[in-house]
């Protein structure tokens, strides 16, 4: 053991959150002394280790740019071909199921992460940076310094064999102990969040390819995706559940079952691997047939894995990062995004503390913004939403909404920097996004409960959707605070338009004879519901803004809710096919030139104006130029 016992920062837990925090601290504050205490001893197993393999765009930016590990990830982990979903009849051929996924490698990289390999490598990396890594060491207790003073926190430790006991002290202490949640338990900060979901997962040695599951598919189906579906995070979707297949760079494949506990209780699949196979035989028999004779490398399970917290940052100079603070859901792989957020905020508070610029109010403001504006909005992505998973059309609309919101708001707050200094303007705007998202998620749930069960499409791709194209390009932009807020407000207007389109689509499917369907008036989507009896009293028909054209937002769903017209084929399908010509020559060779000219490391405002029209805000009173009925009717 290192003879030193006093450090600037003590990190309890050497998993992904703790190790990435240690690297970020040494990169940004190299003079800070850091110790990481962890119960495990290197080397960690590569193929059969922890869940959490799929990294989304924000987490990938954090790993690649903030932690300066871009080249490392390209060499040692697999690039991810986005998220891919299969819906419909799970007892029929896979190739006959409606599919939502992308054809080409996205411009913003994301990764399939082999957690064992990554954590092994991070341990070596942080050691070389000067971090003290105490392996095979258990944390018995964290004794916080008295409030209001400059005292040191104490971490009581013991060797894993129980022979040696010792204590470490530090000015800052970070709980990165995962689900043990030592500080949360000690301080009474644990909070339920209402999301009842469970999971079981395991790994197989070797490659499991969804294309191989399509046993009756011809070469046309296999060639329909220009890049191999294998590299996607593949999801098999049904009411109340999803099943993942994720490739790992070690050559293994991760497979998991995730369910709404109220629909598919964990005891039906999570007590053993044999139970999981029986559940798959009943619910996803094509996958069961494919894996039935394979031997798993491991088997892990959690019941009611989702939880919240009353606090994750304290003026007493402690923080909880990763799963030591809260955990929502593995869908979309947002665990890495919250590691990025909590780690970056922790590093900034330590930086400000060392410069004597950190106030109690500043810490409390950051804590409130993370929990009230970010965590709370993400939570609504999941509460009750597993009931939408069997509906191809509805979940594809939800996927667009959820992804767009993540790119337009959360990603931009993190990458552009406003997250570090939340303002009243950010709280106000964040609350507007949260409220609209809550209404939209409730609409998806009610829509799925009432709409006819049928699928009107066989294939959908977010890269064909105009709004997603703009937001994807804007991931490359670099903006100051005011530009970030201005574009966030413009995008909130775009989300209002998107909500108008989805609201009336839901009404049309659930109430096809409703008298307002012909006119489809502009509504107050912050008060929308799918119960017409509440519209008048609830203010749904009293919009707070003036109508705007909706053609642009309707164009995102061409081929999803109805078959494409010839005009839609020319306007949307033809450009999409041109991008795929020559195995993606236009997409891979020409689009990057446009991106570098107008978006990469630029505000991107001119490029945005080329692709989307942002209307000036106008109140419902009708101030400003009037739009024709043809502009505002969703029937045009």
At residue 50 the predicted structure's pLDDT band, cuts being 50, 70 and 90, is: low
d(CA 199, CA 143): 34
Q: What is the pLDDT of residues 61-103, one digit of tens each?
A: 999 999 999 999 999 999 999 999 999 999 999 999 999 999 9
pLDDT the model gives residue 621: 58
Question: Encoding tokens for residue 484?
Answer: 């970030």
Q: What is the mean pLDDT of residues 430-448?
A: 98
d(CA 407, CA 414): 10
At residue 13 the predicted structure's pLDDT band, cuts being 50, 70 and 90, is: very high
Question: Encoding tokens for residue 51?
Answer: 């869940």
At residue 51 the predicted structure's pLDDT band, cuts being 50, 70 and 90, is: low
Q: What is the pLDDT of residues 231-246, one digit of tens each?
A: 999 999 999 999 999 9
152 HSE (CA, 13 A, CB side): 13
Q: What is the mean pLDDT of residues 140-157?
A: 91
3-state class (DSSP) for residue 142: strand
Looking up tokens 């509906």 gives 391
9 neighbors 32 (Cβ within 8 angstroms) = yes
Looking up tokens 């009037």 gives 626
At residue 456 the predicted structure's pLDDT band, cuts being 50, 70 and 90, is: low
**Residue 238 gets which letter from DSSP?**
E
Q: What percent of the chain has a predicted confidence (pLDDT) above 90?
A: 86
pLDDT the model gives residue 215: 87
pLDDT the model gives residue 276: 98
d(CA 126, CA 36): 9
Length of the chain in terms of residues written: 636
Q: What is the pLDDT of residues 382-402, one digit of tens each?
A: 999 999 998 999 999 999 999
Q: Per-residue pLDDT for 635 more than 50?
A: no
Q: How many helices (H) and strands (E) does the chain have?
A: 24, 20
Per-residue three-class SS string for 365-396: HHHHHHHHHHHHHHHHCCCCHHHHCCCHHHHH
pLDDT the model gives residue 416: 98
Chain Cα centroid distance, residue 384: 17
At residue 502 the predicted structure's pLDDT band, cuts being 50, 70 and 90, is: very high
pLDDT the model gives residue 222: 83
Looking up tokens 């309707």 gives 554
pLDDT the model gives residue 631: 37
Give every CB contact of residue 501 below 8 A, 6+ residues apart in sequence: 550, 553, 554, 556, 557, 634
pLDDT the model gives residue 625: 36
Q: Per-residue pLDDT for 150 more than 90?
A: no
3-state class (DSSP) for residue 235: strand
Q: What is the pLDDT of residues 197-220, one digit of tens each?
A: 999 999 999 999 999 999 888 888
Q: What is the mean pLDDT of residues 435-462?
A: 90
252 neighbors 206 (Cβ within 8 angstroms) = yes
At residue 628 the predicted structure's pLDDT band, cuts being 50, 70 and 90, is: very low
Q: Hey, which residues does 155 pair with through a beta bridge?
A: 142, 168
pLDDT the model gives residue 45: 77
The model's pTM: 0.95
280 neighbors 202 (Cβ within 8 angstroms) = no
100 neighbors 85 (Cβ within 8 angstroms) = yes
pLDDT the model gives residue 48: 53
3-state class (DSSP) for residue 488: helix
Mean pLDDT score across all residues of the chain: 93
Cα–Cα–Cα angle for 330, 66, 470, nearest 5°? 70
Cα dihedral 419, 424, 427, 431, rounded to 10, equals -160
Q: Per-residue pLDDT for 366 more than 90?
A: yes
3-state class (DSSP) for residue 347: helix
Q: What is the pLDDT of residues 246-257, one digit of tens each?
A: 999 889 999 999
For residue 67, give the nearest of 10, 118, 12, 9 by alpha carbon.
118
Q: What is the mean pLDDT of residues 556-567?
A: 92
> Of 147-151, 157-161, 265-269, 372-376, where does mean pLDDT reach its minimum?
147-151
At residue 632 the predicted structure's pLDDT band, cuts being 50, 70 and 90, is: very low
């Amino acid at each position: 053991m290192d003879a030193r016992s006093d450090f600037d920062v003590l990190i309890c837990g050497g998993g992904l959150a703790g190790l990435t925090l240690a690297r970020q601290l040494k990169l940004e504050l190299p003079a800070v002394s850091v110790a990481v205490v962890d119960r495990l001893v290197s080397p960690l197993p590569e193929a059969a280790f922890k869940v959490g393999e799929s990294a989304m765009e924000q987490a990938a930016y954090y790993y690649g740019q903030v932690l300066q590990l871009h080249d490392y990830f390209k060499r040692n982990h697999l690039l991810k071909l986005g998220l891919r979903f299969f819906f419909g009849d799970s007892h029929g051929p896979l190739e006959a199921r409606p599919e939502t996924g992308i054809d080409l490698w996205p411009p913003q990289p994301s990764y399939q992460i082999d957690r064992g390999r990554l954590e092994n490598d991070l341990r070596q990396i942080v050691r070389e940076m000067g971090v003290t890594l105490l392996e095979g060491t258990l944390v018995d207790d964290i004794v916080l310094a008295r409030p209001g003073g400059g005292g040191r926190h104490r971490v009581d430790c013991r060797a894993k064999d129980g022979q040696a006991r010792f204590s470490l002290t530090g000015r800052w202490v970070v709980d990165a102990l995962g689900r043990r949640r030592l500080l949360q338990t000690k301080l009474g900060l644990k909070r339920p969040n209402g999301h009842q979901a469970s999971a079981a997962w395991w790994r197989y040695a070797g490659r499991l390819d969804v294309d191989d599951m399509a046993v009756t598919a011809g070469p046309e189906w296999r060639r329909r995706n220009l890049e191999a579906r294998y590299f996607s995070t593949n999801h098999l979707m049904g009411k109340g559940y999803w099943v993942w297949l994720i490739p790992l760079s070690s050559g293994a494949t991760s497979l998991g079952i995730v369910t709404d506990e109220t629909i598919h209780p964990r005891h039906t699949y999570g007590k053993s691997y044999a139970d999981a196979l029986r559940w798959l035989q009943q619910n996803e028999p094509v996958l069961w047939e494919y894996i039935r004779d394979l031997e798993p490398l491991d088997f892990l399970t959690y019941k009611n894995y989702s939880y919240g917290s009353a606090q994750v940052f304290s003026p007493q100079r402690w923080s909880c990062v990763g799963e030591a603070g809260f955990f929502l859901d593995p869908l979309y792989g947002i665990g890495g995004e919250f590691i990025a957020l909590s780690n970056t905020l922790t590093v900034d508070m330590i930086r400000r503390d060392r410069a004597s610029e950190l106030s109690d109010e500043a810490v409390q403001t950051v804590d409130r913004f993370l929990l009230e504006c970010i965590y709370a909005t993400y939570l609504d992505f999941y509460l009750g939403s597993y009931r939408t998973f069997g509906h191809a059309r509805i979940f594809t609309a939800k996927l667009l909404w959820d992804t767009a919101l993540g790119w337009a708001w959360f990603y931009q707050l993190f990458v552009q920097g406003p997250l570090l200094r939340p303002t009243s303007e950010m709280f106000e705007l964040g609350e507007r996004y949260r409220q609209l998202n809550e209404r939209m998620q409730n609409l998806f749930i009610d829509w799925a409960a009432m709409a006819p069960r049928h699928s009107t499409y066989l294939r959908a791709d977010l890269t064909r959707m105009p709004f997603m194209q703009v937001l994807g390009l804007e991931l490359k932009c670099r903006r100051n605070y005011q530009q970030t807020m201005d574009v966030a407000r413009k995008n909130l207007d775009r989300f209002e338009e998107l909500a108008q389109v989805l609201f009336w689509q839901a009404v049309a499917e659930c109430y096809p004879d409703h008298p307002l369907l012909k006119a489809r008036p502009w509504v107050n989507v912050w008060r929308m519901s799918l119960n017409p009896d509440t519209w008048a009293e609830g203010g749904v028909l009293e919009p707070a803004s003036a109508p705007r054209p909706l053609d642009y937002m309707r164009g995102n769903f061409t081929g999803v809710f109805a078959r494409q017209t010839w005009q839609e084929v020319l306007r949307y399908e033809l450009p999409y096919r041109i991008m795929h010509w020559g195995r993606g020559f236009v997409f891979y060779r020409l689009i990057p030139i446009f991106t570098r000219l107008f978006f990469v490391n630029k505000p991107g405002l001119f490029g945005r104006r080329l692709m989307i029209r942002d209307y000036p805000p106008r109140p419902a009173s009708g101030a400003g130029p009037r739009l024709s009925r043809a502009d505002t009717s969703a029937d045009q």
